[in-house]
Amino acid sequence: MTVVRQTAAESAAATGRRRASFHPLTVDEVRRLTDDAIEVTFGVPAELAGQFDYLPGQYVALRTTLPDESGEPKEIRRSYSICAEPRSFADGSSEIRVAIKKDLGGLFSTWANAELKAGDVLDVMSPMGAFVSKHGRDGKEQNLMNSMNHPDEMANALAGSPAPSWQSPQVPASPP
């Protein structure tokens, strides 16, 4: 199995974009995954759908302003892998989903896990990243099994792209 690594320019050309930019997106849903992880779904309006077309394996940067340790407002940017296959709707809108795991001492991840809710608006950068595969749906289930701990690979798996070459194509056998 081969993973195609692209430059940012090649990735942008493949999805029809020249340059990533931030856009305010509304949080449609925050779903608790574990005690310290959430899945955040952003609604993408039809007029921005072309800016948020993505390939499995790409990521988005999120931007907001939060108070730092001294209470001063500080712009915070964090990047998160897109963790679901592309999904579009009949009205031309779409969605982007990211998983955010609370990191010890992580200002943004701690805030998001405790405070982020549906209806909030964050600046979301159009998708970037060159860790994408150019294959069809062969091996979808195997890739899903190989990618359970890697959200970017989970997106590849759900879209049917094979696992990257550094991952084993076989699931290890269970001990007897």
* Domain of residue 125, CATH code: 2.40.30.10
- Whether residue 18 is contained in a domain is answered as yes
Q: How many domains does the chain have?
A: 1
- Whether residue 111 is contained in a domain is answered as yes
- Count other C-beta atoms under 10 Å from residue 15's C-beta: 17
Enclosing domain of residue 111? 4-158
The per-residue pLDDT for range 152-170, each reduced to its tens digit, is 555 555 555 544 443 433 4
Taking the C-alpha atoms of residue 133 and residue 58, their distance in angstroms, rounded to an integer, is 10
- Whether residue 42 is contained in a domain is answered as yes
pTM given for the model: 0.67
The per-residue pLDDT for range 129-159, each reduced to its tens digit, is 765 566 544 445 444 444 445 555 555 555 5
pLDDT of residue 19: 76
E strand or H helix at 100: strand 94-101
- Whether residue 174 is contained in a domain is answered as no
Chain centroid, CA 139 distance in Å: 21
Return the higher-pLDDT residue of 108 and 2: 108
The answer to whether residue 53 scores a pLDDT higher than 70 is yes
